[in-house]
Every structure is written in structure tokens, then in C-alpha cells.
A and B are shown apart, each in its own frame.
Chain A
Amino acid sequence: SQTIHQWPATLVQPVGSPLSLECTVEGTSNPNLYWYRQAAGRGLQLLFYSVGIGQISSEVPQNLSASRPQDRQFILSSKKLLLSDSGFYLCAFFAQGRPEQYFGPGTRLTVT
């Protein structure tokens, strides 16, 4: 079966520090991968998506970047965190040939 993992589950980082959030998918190959951010009390904001290794599309210019070093691995990074980067980060994927999206458990990031 297909599963998606995210880590860490929670993270508290000071302003100006770097960030690396990881997402991995199991049970499928060549998935489309997505990073979303969810601010408190707000909907989902699509940040990045990837249709293949090394292929990244950015939806919102910001302090974050994404990379896909392996087929089923998607990483969200920042060189210097801002207070406004706080939020709940969700990774999601489409399995090949499927139109529904599946979400990971999320990472709660608090920038202090």
C-alpha cells in the first residue's frame, strides 16, 4: 500500500536559522509531490510541486525552496527562517494515474 511520511513532526527554530523538512513516499513510483503550508485558522497554500526528480515548480515566491533528490523524496528548505514561516507544513502526493491526493501527517513549525 502507499504511505507518506514526514519528519520531524514538530520543530521550534529561532529566526535566522536554517530549515530542512523531509517527506518520503512508499508504495508507488514517480509520484507527483507537493508541499503546502497551512497558517493558523487558514486554508491550504500550495508552495511547491514536483513531477519528477530535479523538477520543481514554485507557486509562491518566498523564503523557502524545495528539492527532489530521489524519486520518492521531497525536501523543503530555508537558509534563514522568518517569523512568518511559522505554520503547519503538509506534504502530499498523487500516485501515478490516480487523480486523488494523499497527505502526510504534517510538520508543525514554530519560528521564535
Chain B
Amino acid sequence: AQSVTQPDIHITVSEGASLELRCNYSYGATPYLFWYVQSPGQGLQLLLKYFSGDTLVQGIKGFEAEFKRSQSSFNLRKPSVHWSDAAEYFCAVGARNTPLVFGKGTRLSVIA
């Protein structure tokens, strides 16, 4: 069965510290992989995506993610977190023209 696991429900980091949000997936084939961000009361915004090729992908707002096939993981990273990065982050997997499968999300809090 297709599934996405985001093991951390809530993470708190200090402003300026590095960040890594974990994502593990189970999928029948090599999927397309995505990270979305959701600010309170807003829709989801696409941060970055992986289809094929270079396993380290760059996204918007200074985020990057690395696809590791052997670990079925697609972790999101940022070297220095800003207070405006506080939000909910969703990992998703899928294939062309099929509904994406989403993780349950990780809420990021940023403290001064």
C-alpha cells in the first residue's frame, strides 16, 4: 500500500539553527516526491519536487531535499531557519495524474 510517514508531529527550532524534517514513503515504483508548506488558514504551497535525476533538489525559500532510494526517504532541510518558516510541512508522493498521498504533516515552531 502507498503511504507516507512523517515521524515528527511537532518540531521546535531556534531561529538561525538548521532544520531537517523527515519523510519516509512506501510506494510501488519510484514515485514523484514533493514537499508542501501550509501557513495557518492558508492553502498548501509547493516547496520543491523530485521527479528524477540529481537526488538533491533545491526549492523555494532556501529549502532543499534529498532523495535516498535505499532508505525510501525524502528529508527536507534548511541550513538556517527564519521565524517566517513557522508553518505546517507536508511530504507527498505520487505519480502522474494520480492523487498524491500525503503524510500527516510536521508542525514547525521557531523560537527566538
Contacts and interface: CB of A to CB of B under 8 A. Distances in A.
Contact of A99 (B32, B44, B103): B32
B95 A99 contact: yes
Interface of A: 6, 32, 34, 42-44, 46, 49, 51, 59, 88, 90, 92, 94, 97-106, 108
A100 B49 contact: yes
A92 B53 CA distance: 26
Contact of A51 (B36, B97, B100, B104): B97
B97 A106 contact: no
Given A106-B41, A106-B42, A46 B99 contact: yes
Given A100-B32, A100-B49, A43 B95 contact: no
A103 B99 contact: no
Interface of B: 32, 34, 36, 41-46, 49, 51, 90, 92, 94-97, 99-100, 102-105
A13 to B, nearest CB: 18
Contact of A101 (B42, B51, B100, B105): B100
A90 B99 contact: no
A28 B56 CA distance: 29
A70 B95 CA distance: 25
Contact of A43 (B32, B42, B104): B104
Given A34-B99, A43-B90, A94-B97, A106 B43 contact: yes
B72 to A, nearest CB: 18
A51 B96 CA distance: 12
Contact of B42 (A34, A97, A98, A105): A105
Contacts of A43: 90, 102-105
Nearest to A59: B99
A44 B102 contact: yes
A104 to B, nearest CB: 5
Given A43-B90, A43-B104, A100 B46 contact: yes
